[in-house]
């Protein structure tokens, strides 16, 4: 039995997941909460992006469950655990993880990128490109066989993806027909015709493309290095996938830290006015005056000094990296609550003058009840829009911060670190472009999907845009 | 109105004091000067002497807030708080941890920062407003739909990508202008072309979208309906009414960032090796030079608060509803 | 002979596909040169949409499905947009309801009027200025020279509407469409603007298409009247025949709900034990100027007001907007801090009560608001809304008892009990106001302050709400402090009337006496400005 490990960030992410599930359950029970979400769900562009986001989410979540696997040690009676915890995702893509080469290699290549002294079969030394240990290792004559091999594996993978797609669709349709007590075929027809307004066709098409393409790439990645390898020979595709968790953790945990401050301070400032308002305004103006990057940099420096002076507390690399990620999220959260706070203060000031709030006061309702029953639910849409819009900004910010060395720990897999490391490779002869391209591509996909989805959410929830 | 401005100026002082206290807390309370010294000198094999020497070289060998060993007023003034934080108010930045005079460095390096930031702002403004006006003119057509999606796509691309690919394309492949570096006088122009263009390109997505939102808010207002009922064509209506009215929030949004232009863009300057205040700050952060980082934080705050003040003033000048009430 | 302006079978809808709503459904009418056509209907009947369709000024989600609009025999719908721009302002002009938002806030008045001239003619600057000043004089704006360079926010509502009219007249149009031109203005100003419109029309020989919900103002102005309901015209007739005998049942209903002065009543004599006794009540707002915001003076929103309210009676507080009546109502209920005065409720002084002690009194004094759309939390169920007061103020009821009472209250106000598990937005304005009344009744008050409870409602619904309020008063012995600017409604409800102007009560007494034989000038002016009451004659042959 493997021993489960929970990092700080893991725990918080699961807390967040639980909170979201509770929220979804609550939304489903209240009709007035369901209404705007129905609008979100019928937005074609938004829902296609949601499918893409779903994939990222799955990988990120799988990467958040950590455990220490048992080492293969059949002699001893007691199980020994490896000292480095791995995640569920790591375990799933083990081949990618452990197949490291010596140094750079191009995508789909069978040989290293740099020339070396190779000892050939007859003992003579040749100055050439050595074969890769793992990449395309199954091919006898790569230069001629590679293209057909790629096509073969690719098509096979796509076919498997198609089968998986059919299974998933059948499952979903079966669930739906069970819930609506209709026949399977009629449910299928209904979904195909987009009858309920939800763009199922577009979503399923996206799912199909993603599953087929994803499966094909997955199959290929077991035999080749799909995006090449980096300087120390680690598979770039693996690194990019691992970075998903980092990006998502930063995008979501920061919000977790930021929300309580922004909510409480914003609502209090708007409702109570007077000296409470003055104090809170002073607080966020002061905080805002300090240039954001500098504040984050200064805080990270402080954290670094603290961590280096308390080395004993951070036993191994994994814990140290995770703590740094946690601190980064906390710092980002503590420095970014002012924007939302201002919006909430303005909205609360408007709501305070609404007649139903005055009616509540005339009915003797206490202030705290007014805040929780009348004000809070009516500012929720602003919070939601803000949270969803900020996500993409945070993912992009991580890249920039890592470049300045005030982002995540260098040992953590993140797109920022990949860009940082790969920047100098552009100047190499011949040029090494795949690390950079991979990082940008993945980051772009996640941020674009998040932006389009966020737009859909904002269009549904913003009362001014509502007709 | 004069008293309003005066009141806003007076409000700046407690703000600056707050900033000062906050940065003091951040730099000196969480980690003591001893901790800082230990980190700079290496963790393990550091003697107390070395720490003391490091501290006295930089003026950290005093108590934080209250000096018992002195008498009278000096109990307050011979402290780190007074010497380091309060001195900033008089723009006495002191010396960096590597010994240079911070003040003169700042004075020298702010010009390159401005040389990049000001053209970027102006060109960016022109580009964004033009695209936004075009999108609004073609609203409810497919052109607008694809234009908005285009903006979102441009926005989703990291700024780093623009910089790196811009440098690669223009510098390596096309070799039209140098990739990095700087020169004085008019020679500087060929060095700032690329950073400015890239700065404008990376901001088009978000900027166009933001201005489009502002314009659309104005277009939906009642006075636009009155203007149409007068017989105004769509183009004239956009330019004489919508643009003019939307310029108020646009202008005040621009004014508030004007002072912070001095600080320079951290990323741009560092990628393009421009010797401005941005790269100054980044170098200080990587070298963990606390003195410089402290000074830049204070400078940034002063400029931001000045920007707030300018915004208030510009509102009273530009918006007749505020000016004449 | 062909009319000068004709609308034939116009159909307009909003939205697309399943959610499209037909706003105008086959409307036809004609307008002759120099005549006035009045299109009357309640809110949502489609009258404004008809006008916007004719000028092709619909918002982006509106579409004209079919029909034609003929101007001198030519169909305007055939025109390309560029030619339509020549028609708008030049041959057909339109003015809208709210003058504050209809004018560009950052452009001077002179510039906005000049723009109308510059679009359709090319004159040099001095000529333009001369014509603008002429126009401003024509619409009776005093000190035109000075006003030329002023901005809209520096003028009053009535003056702004005059500017709007000047803009419309600039190019001497043949038809002026006026969409509810006086609804957003004070009562006394309404009459002036209407008179202005009539005189200009006679002077210019222009046709006037008046859109309104108020049958009262149509009487003196219109030549032809059409009544619109749910997108269709239900009746069309000349003014005389319409007012003599309206044919359609809906038109008759509009007449029935016009309040008249016939049954004014006066209250009983003041007993020694009034329910509410107010002496020298003040609500002052400090004016702060200078560097340190010293208080240099006060805005006296409510200035030493004194009155008494007897049990089971209604005291109406009337006055124009801004006179302080709403401030007085809210101040009495401690929703706004007051600045002095003695308030006695049922003999007990309310001054110097701590917040908790005052909370005990709150159940006896409740408030009904003007806008039924913003007076309920959109996120709560109707049942929760009504129950809220009971949870805090009536502590000795169990959950089940409260639920029962909610059902009872809903039935008392004329709604069914299953309304309680729905949301406010599902109901119409009148139904929402009933829910608000139920909410106020839940805590068993003895005094209800009604702050313009019918102003935001359609005329036919107003009558129902007033009837309900009167029923409840009879049954439960409630006292009302009825705040309104609408003298016609006041005539229905009030036992006593107090007239307020700029924070002070200028006249107070029995309803009959104040409304029939006012003593003060200001009261007389208020009464004159209400056309409905002046009509006096009921239609024959009902």
Instruction: Give per-residue pLDDT as tens, B176-188.
Output: 777 777 777 777 7
CB < 8 Å to B285, chain A: 297, 301, 404-406
DSSP string, C233-281: EEEEEEHHHHHH---SHHHHHHHHTS--STT---PPPP-S--SEEEEEE
**Assigned fold of A236-465:** MetI-like fold (1.10.3720)
Which chain A residues have a beta carbon less than 8 Å from that of C367? Answer: 358-359, 362
Among the partner residues A286, A406, A423, nearest to B285 by beta-carbon distance: A406
The rounded distance, in Å, linking the Cα atoms of B248 and A463 is 24
CA distances, C32 to each of C24, C72, C238 (Å): 22, 10, 12
A433: part of which helix (H) or strand (E)? none
Query: Across the interface, do A467 and C15 touch by the CB < 8 Å criterion?
Result: yes
Which candidate from C106, C116, C168 shows the least CB-CB separation from B245?
C106
What number of CA atoms fall less than 13 Å from residue C535's CA on the CB side?
18
Contact between B245 and C90 using a beta-carbon 8 Å cutoff: no
Query: Which residue do the tokens 């508030």 mark?
Result: B256
User: Percent of chain B scored above 90 by pLDDT?
Assistant: 15
Chain centroid to Cα A168, Å, comes to 23
- Best of C13, C377, C385 to disrupt the A interface (most A CBs within 10 Å) is C377
Q: Sign of the C-alpha dihedral, residues C256, C257, C258, C263?
A: positive
CA gap A451, B185 in Å, rounded: 42
DSSP state of B83: I
- Search chain A and give the residue with CA nearest B298: A290
Largest CA distance in chain C: 80
Say yes or no for a CB contact (<8 Å) between C376 and A356.
yes
C380: Cβ contacts below 8 Å, ≥ 6 apart: A373, C388, C423, C424
Sign, CA dihedral A212-A214-A217-A223, equals negative
Instruction: Return the residue in C354, C379, C424, C426 with the most chain A beta carbons within 10 A, the one to mutate for interface testing.
Output: C379
Q: Is the pLDDT of residue C226 over 90?
A: yes
Res A258: pLDDT: 93
Nearest to C511 by CA among C527, C498, C501, C497: C497
Torsional sign, CA B208, B209, B212, B217: negative
As given in the structure block, the two tokens for residue A57 are 């989410």
pLDDT at C533: 45
Chain-chain contact of B222 with C105 (C-beta, under 8 angstroms): no
C229, β-bridge pairs: C232
For the segment B26-43, the average pLDDT, to the nearest whole number, is 70
Give which of B308, B316, B321 is closest to B9, Cα–Cα. B308
Radius of gyration of chain B (CA): 25
- A77 and C CB contact within 8 Å: no
| B69 shares contact with chain A (CB less than 8 Å) | no
Higher pLDDT, C457 or C40: C40
Contact flag C116-B320 (C-beta cutoff 8 Å): no
Residue A227's closest CA among A448, A447, A436, A445? A436
The model's confidence at residue C261, banded by pLDDT at 50, 70 and 90, is: low
CA atoms of C478 and C365, how far apart (whole Å)? 10
Q: Using the beta-carbon criterion (under 8 Å), do B30 and A302 form an inter-chain contact?
A: yes
Name every residue whose Cβ is closer than 8 Å to that of residue A382 and which is 6 or more positions away in sequence. A340, A343, A344, A347
B282 lies within 8 A of chain A by CB: yes
Contact with chain A for residue C361, Cβ under 8 A: no
A220-224, C15-19, C151-155: least confidently modelled range = C15-19
Answer yes or no: do C105 and B321 touch at CB < 8 A. Answer: yes
Q: Phi and psi (nearest 5°) for A463?
A: -65, -25
Q: Best of C61, C94, C102, C146 to disrupt the B interface by mutation (most B CBs within 10 Å)?
A: C102
Residue contact C101–B221, C-beta within 8 A: yes
Task: Please check whether residue A297 is in contact with residue B280, taking contact to mean a CB–CB distance below 8 angstroms.
Answer: no
Closest CA relative to residue C301, chosen from C261, C272, C329: C329
Q: Which 3 state secondary structure label does DSSP give A18?
A: helix
Q: In this structure, what are the phi and psi dihedrals at residue C322, rounded to the nearest 5 degrees?
A: 90, 0
B57-95 exposure pattern, b = at least 16 Cβ within 10 A, e = fewer? ebebebeeeebeeeeeeebeebbbbbebbbebeeeebbe
pLDDT tens digits along C239-253 = 888 888 888 888 887
- A458 vs chain B: nearest CA distance in angstroms? 13
From the list C447, C437, C269, the residue with the least C-alpha distance to C343 is C447
In chain C, the residue whose alpha carbon lies closest to the alpha carbon of B4 is C291
Q: How far apart are the C-alpha atoms of A92 and A70, rounded to whole Å?
A: 15
Report residue A217: phi and psi, to 5°. Answer: -65, -40
The structure tokens 């009472």 sit at C405
Give the list of residues 6+ apart from residue A77 with CB closer than 8 angstroms, or none.
none
Interface test with B, best of A305, A310, A338, A396 (most B CBs within 10 A): A305
Cα separation values, C140 from C98, C149, C192, C293, C464, Å = 19, 17, 10, 40, 40
- As a whole number, the mean pLDDT across chain B is 82
Predicted local distance difference test score (pLDDT) of residue C542: 28
In chain B, residues with a C-beta closer than 8 Å to the C-beta of C89 are 229-231
pLDDT, tens digit only, all 467 positions of chain A: 677 888 888 889 999 999 999 988 888 887 777 888 888 888 888 899 999 999 999 999 998 888 887 776 555 566 667 777 888 888 888 888 888 887 888 888 777 887 777 777 777 777 777 777 777 777 777 777 788 888 888 888 888 889 888 888 888 888 878 877 777 777 777 777 766 677 888 888 888 899 888 888 888 888 888 888 888 888 889 999 999 999 999 999 999 899 999 999 999 999 998 899 999 999 988 888 888 887 888 788 778 777 777 777 777 788 888 888 999 999 999 988 998 999 999 999 999 988 899 999 988 888 999 999 899 989 988 998 899 888 998 999 898 888 777 888 888 889 999 888 887 777 777 778 888 889 999 999 999 999 999 988 888 887 665 43
With 0-12 / 13-18 / 19 or more C-beta atoms within 10 angstroms meaning exposed / middle / buried, residue A439 is buried
Any B CB within 8 A of C164 CB: yes
Are the beta carbons of C24 and C46 closer than 8 angstroms?
Answer: yes
Residue C441 to residues C345, C412, C413, C478, Cα–Cα distance (Å): 18, 10, 10, 10
Q: What is the count of residue pairs from A and C with beta carbons less than 8 Å apart?
A: 62
Q: Give ipTM to 2 decimals.
A: 0.85
Q: Does C278 touch chain A (CB under 8 A)?
A: no
Residue given tokens 């166009």 in the structure block: B208
Contacts of B173 (CB under 8 A, 6+ apart): none
pLDDT digits (tens, 9 = 90+) for C469-520: 999 999 988 999 999 887 778 888 888 999 998 889 999 988 888 888 888 8
The shortest C-alpha distance from B253 to chain C (Å) reads 18
Please give the residue of chain C at the shortest CA–CA distance from A376: C379
Distance from CA of A276 to the nearest CA of C (A): 19
CB atoms B35 and A305 under 8 Å: yes
- Annotated domain spans of chain A: 139-222, 236-465
pLDDT digits (tens, 9 = 90+) for C266-287: 666 666 678 888 889 999 988 8
Whether B280 has a pLDDT exceeding 70, the answer reads yes
């Amino acid at each position: 039995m493997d021993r489960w490990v929970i990092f700080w960030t893991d725990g918080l992410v699961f807390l967040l997941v639980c909170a979201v599930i509770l929220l979804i359950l609550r939304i489903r029970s209240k009709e007035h909460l369901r209404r705007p979400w129905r609008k979100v769900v019928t937005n074609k562009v938004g829902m296609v992006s949601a499918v893409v986001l779903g994939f990222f989410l799955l990988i990120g979540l799988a990467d958040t469950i950590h455990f220490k696997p048992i080492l293969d040690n059949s002699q001893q009676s007691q199980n020994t655990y490896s000292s480095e915890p791995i995640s569920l995702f790591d375990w799933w893509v083990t081949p990618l993880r452990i197949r490291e080469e010596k140094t750079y290699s191009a995508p789909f290549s069978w040989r290293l990128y740099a020339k070396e002294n190779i000892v050939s079969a007859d003992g003579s030394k040749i100055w050439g490109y050595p074969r890769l240990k793992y990449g395309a290792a199954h091919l006898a004559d790569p230069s001629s066989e590679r293209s057909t091999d790629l096509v073969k594996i690719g098509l096979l993978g796509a076919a498997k993806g198609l089968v998986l797609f059919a299974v998933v669709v059948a499952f979903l349709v079966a669930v739906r027909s069970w819930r609506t007590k209709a026949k399977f075929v009629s449910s299928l027809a209904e979904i195909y015709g987009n009858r309920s307004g939800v763009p199922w066709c577009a979503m399923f098409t996206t799912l199909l493309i993603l599953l087929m393409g994803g499966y094909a790439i997955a199959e290929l990645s077991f035999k080749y290095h799909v995006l090449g390898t980096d300087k120390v020979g680690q598979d770039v595709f693996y690194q990019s996938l691992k970075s998903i968790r980092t990006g998502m953790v930063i995008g979501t945990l920061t919000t977790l830290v930021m929300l309580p401050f922004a909510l409480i301070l914003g609502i209090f400032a708007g409702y109570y006015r007077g000296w409470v308002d003055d104090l809170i305004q002073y607080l966020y103006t002061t905080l805002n005056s300090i240039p954001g990057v500098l504040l984050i940099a200064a805080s990270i420096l402080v954290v670094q000094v603290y961590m280096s002076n308390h080395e004993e507390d951070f036993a191994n690399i994994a814990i140290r990296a995770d703590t740094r990620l946690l601190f980064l999220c906390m710092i980002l959260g503590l420095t970014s609550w002012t924007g939302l706070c201002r919006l909430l203060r303005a909205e609360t000031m408007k709501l305070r003058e609404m007649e139903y709030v005055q009616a509540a006061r005339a009915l003797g309702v206490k202030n705290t009840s007014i805040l929780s029953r009348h004000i809070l639910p009516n500012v929720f849409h602003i919070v939601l829009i803000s949270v969803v819009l900020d996500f993409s900004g945070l993912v992009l910010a991580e890249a920039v911060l890592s470049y300045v060395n005030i982002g995540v720990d260098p040992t953590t897999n993140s797109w920022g670190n990949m860009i940082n490391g790969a920047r100098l490779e552009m100047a190499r002869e011949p040029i090494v472009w795949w690390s950079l391209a991979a990082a940008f591509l993945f980051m772009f996909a996640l941020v674009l999907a998040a932006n389009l989805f966020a737009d859909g959410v904002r269009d549904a929830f913003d009362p001014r845009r509502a007709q | 109105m004069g008293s309003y401005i005066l009141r806003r100026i007076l409000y700046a002082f407690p703000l600056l004091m707050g900033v000062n206290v906050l940065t003091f807390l951040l730099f000196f309370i969480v980690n003591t000067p001893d901790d800082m010294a230990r980190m700079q000198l290496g963790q393990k094999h550091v003697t107390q002497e070395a720490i003391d020497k490091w501290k006295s070289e930089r003026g950290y060998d005093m108590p934080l807030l209250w000096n018992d060993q002195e008498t009278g007023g000096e109990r307050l003034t011979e402290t780190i708080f007074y010497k380091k934080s309060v001195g900033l108010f008089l723009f006495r930045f002191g010396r960096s941890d590597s010994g240079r005079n911070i003040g003169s460095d700042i004075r020298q390096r702010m010009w390159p920062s401005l040389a990049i930031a000001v053209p970027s702002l102006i060109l960016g403004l022109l580009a964004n407003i033009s695209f936004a006006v075009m999108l609004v003119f073609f609203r409810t057509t497919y052109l607008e739909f694809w234009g908005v999606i285009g903006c979102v796509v441009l926005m989703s691309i990291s700024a780093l990508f623009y910089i790196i690919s811009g440098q690669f394309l223009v510098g390596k492949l096309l070799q039209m202008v140098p990739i990095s570096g700087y020169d004085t006088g008019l020679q500087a122009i060929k060095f700032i072309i690329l950073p400015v263009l890239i700065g404008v390109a990376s901001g088009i997505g978000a900027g166009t979208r933001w201005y489009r939102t502002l314009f659309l808010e104005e277009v939906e207002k009642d006075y636009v309906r009155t203007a149409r009922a007068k017989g105004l064509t769509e183009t004239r209506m956009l330019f004489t009414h919508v643009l003019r009215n939307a310029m108020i929030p646009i202008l005040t949004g621009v004014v508030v960032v004007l002072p912070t232009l001095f600080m320079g863009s951290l990323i741009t300057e560092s990628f393009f090796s421009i010797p401005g205040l941005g790269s100054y700050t980044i170098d200080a952060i990587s070298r963990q030079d606390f003195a410089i980082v402290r000074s830049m934080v204070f400078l940034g705050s002063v400029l931001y608060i000045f920007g707030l003040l300018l915004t208030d003033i510009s509102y009273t000048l530009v918006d007749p509803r505020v000016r004449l009430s | 002979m062909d009319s000068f302006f004709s609308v034939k079978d116009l159909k307009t809808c909003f939205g697309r596909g399943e959610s499209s709503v037909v706003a105008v459904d086959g409307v036809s009418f004609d307008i002759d040169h120099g005549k006035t056509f009045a299109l009357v209907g309640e809110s949502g009947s489609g009258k404004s949409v008809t006008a916007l369709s004719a000028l092709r000024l619909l918002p982006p989600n509106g579409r004209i499905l079919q029909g034609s609009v003929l101007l001198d025999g030519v169909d305007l719908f055939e025109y390309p947009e560029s030619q339509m721009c020549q028609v708008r302002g030049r041959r057909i002009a339109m003015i809208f309801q709210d003058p504050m938002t209809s004018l560009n806030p950052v452009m001077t008045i002179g510039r906005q009027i000049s723009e109308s001239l510059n679009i359709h003619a090319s004159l040099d600057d001095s000529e333009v200025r001369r014509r603008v000043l002429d126009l401003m004089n024509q619409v009776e704006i005093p000190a035109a020279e000075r006003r030329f360079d002023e901005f809209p926010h520096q003028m009053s509502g009535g003056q702004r509407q005059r500017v709007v009219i000047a803009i419309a007249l600039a190019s001497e149009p043949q038809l002026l469409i006026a969409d509810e031109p006086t609804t957003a203005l004070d009562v006394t100003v309404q009459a002036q603007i209407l008179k202005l419109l009539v005189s200009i029309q006679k002077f210019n020989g222009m046709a006037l298409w008046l859109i309104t919900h108020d049958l009262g103002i149509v009487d003196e102005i219109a030549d032809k009247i059409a009544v619109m309901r749910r997108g269709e015209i239900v009746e069309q007739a000349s003014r005389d025949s319409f007012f003599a005998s309206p044919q359609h049942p809906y038109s008759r209903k509009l007449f029935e709900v016009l309040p008249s002065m016939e049954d004014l009543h006066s209250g009983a004599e003041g007993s020694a034990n009034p329910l509410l006794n107010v002496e020298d009540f003040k609500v002052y707002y400090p004016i702060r100027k200078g560097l340190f915001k010293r208080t240099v003076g006060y805005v006296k929103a409510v200035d030493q007001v004194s009155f008494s309210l007897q049990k089971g009676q209604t005291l109406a507080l009337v006055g124009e907007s801004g006179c302080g009546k709403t401030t007085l109502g809210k101040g009495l209920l401690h929703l706004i801090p007051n600045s002095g005065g003695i308030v006695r409720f049922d003999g007990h002084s309310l001054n110097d009560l701590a917040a908790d002690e005052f909370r005990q009194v709150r159940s006896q004094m409740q408030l009904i608001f003007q806008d039924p759309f913003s007076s309920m939390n959109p996120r709560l169920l109707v049942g929760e809304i009504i129950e809220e007061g009971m949870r805090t103020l009536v502590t000795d009821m169990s959950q089940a008892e409260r639920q029962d009472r909610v059902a009872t209250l809903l039935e008392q106000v004329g709604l069914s009990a299953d309304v309680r598990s729905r949301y406010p937005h599902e109901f119409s304005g009148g139904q929402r106001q009933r829910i608000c009344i139920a909410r106020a009744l839940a805590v068993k008050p003895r005094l209800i302050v009604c702050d313009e409870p019918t102003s935001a409602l359609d005329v036919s619904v107003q009558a129902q709400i007033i009837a309900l309020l009167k029923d409840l008063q009879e049954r439960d012995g409630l006292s009302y402090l009825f705040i309104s600017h609408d003298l016609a409604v006041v005539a229905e409800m009030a036992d006593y009337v107090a007239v307020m102007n700029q924070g002070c009560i200028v006249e107070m007494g029995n309803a009959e006496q104040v409304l029939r034989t006012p003593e003060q000038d200001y009261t007389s002016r208020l009464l004159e400005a209400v056309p409905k009451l002046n009509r006096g004659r009921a239609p024959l042959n009902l």
